[in-house]
Amino acid sequence: MAADDHKQHGLGILLTTASAVAYSTAGFFTRLIHLDAWTILFWRGIYAGLFIAGFMIWQNRRGALAAVRAIGGPGLIAAGLSALATILFINAFRRTSVADVTVIYATAPFVTAALGWLWTGERESWTTLLASAVAFLGVLVMVGGAATHGHLAGDLLAFGMTLCMAVMMVIIRMYRQTSMLPAAGLSAFLCALLVWPFASPGAAGPRDMAYLVLFGATQLGLGLLLLTLGTRLISATESALVSALETPLAPIWVWLAFTEIPPPPTLLGGAIVMAAVSAHVVASSRSR
């Protein structure tokens, strides 16, 4: 039984890490696509939803509709939280600095740990909390601190986004016996629906549309799918911690594709985040 738990935990870490890699390509794709943010979000949501729906149909065959009905109220709440988090994320960037949003979201492991303890009584190991603290320090180094003023509204939106993601991960973990993949697909379609009034879907040309298909399917669709699968197998706090890899990985893709060399603080902070997550994976593997 212990060996099975060990394998499940390792698979959860692997899936969540792959999710962070997928999510980290957002900056790369937004550089390629020359459209407004709302139009990008609209098409990204459509193609992500179609990607996840296709995977569900392939996985469940005739039982796909039954899988959708099985998510119940918790799945609908998780889908709504995921879509709302995306909207809050975009609006936070418009009202505060990138540094503020990044640092506030880096607190997700602590917020998730607190919610998990209050809601389910699940306590995290000291190694997970210590790794989360070191990863948070790495993010602080990357952005050079986030002591800005006059950005209260944007900071509150960023915290709301962080809270939505934390609650979503706790729900997925609580109902891990039920596949929440339909909720992930629903959240993508819901996000597209919410931004539709502000988007210009017809503005996308053939080249941009090709990039949008890849953006939706790989960055959001695959990212959501892997995160949903991985969070069922590890604690919600661990999932939030491993997801922090998205922050240092994001500038690497832009560096490789557009030869934009990250500044030294970004490289140093990114190395700290990666070291924290790697150390946690090794320590948790040994403890199991």
**Digit-coded pLDDT (tens) for 171-217:** 998 998 888 999 999 999 999 999 999 999 999 999 999 999 999 99
Domain region containing 122: 9-287
CB atoms within 10 A of CB 288: 13
pLDDT score recorded for residue 171: 93
Q: What end-to-end distance do the CA atoms of the chain give, in Å?
A: 11
Greater confidence, 97 or 251? 251
206 close to 66: Cβ distance less than 8 angstroms:
no
Average pLDDT for 102-116:
86
Average pLDDT for 57-70:
89
pLDDT score recorded for residue 242: 92
The reported pTM is 0.86
Is residue 203 domain-resident? Answer: yes
Is residue 1 domain-resident? Answer: no
14 close to 214: Cβ distance less than 8 angstroms:
no
Total tally of structural domains belonging to the chain = 1
Is residue 122 domain-resident? Answer: yes
Is residue 240 domain-resident? Answer: yes
80 close to 184: Cβ distance less than 8 angstroms:
no
Neighbouring residues of 121: CB distance < 8 A, sequence distance ≥ 6? none
Neighbouring residues of 276: CB distance < 8 A, sequence distance ≥ 6? 131, 132, 134, 135, 138, 241, 244
> Closest by alpha carbon to 140, among 105, 110, 91?
105
| Angstrom distance (rounded) from CA 203 to CA 43 | 11
Is residue 55 domain-resident? Answer: yes
Task: Report the share of the chain in percent with pLDDT over 70.
Answer: 94
| Angstrom distance (rounded) from CA 102 to CA 27 | 14
Is residue 4 domain-resident? Answer: no
Query: pLDDT band for position 51 (50/70/90)?
Result: very high
| Angstrom distance (rounded) from CA 179 to CA 64 | 11
Is residue 218 domain-resident? Answer: yes
Is residue 185 domain-resident? Answer: yes
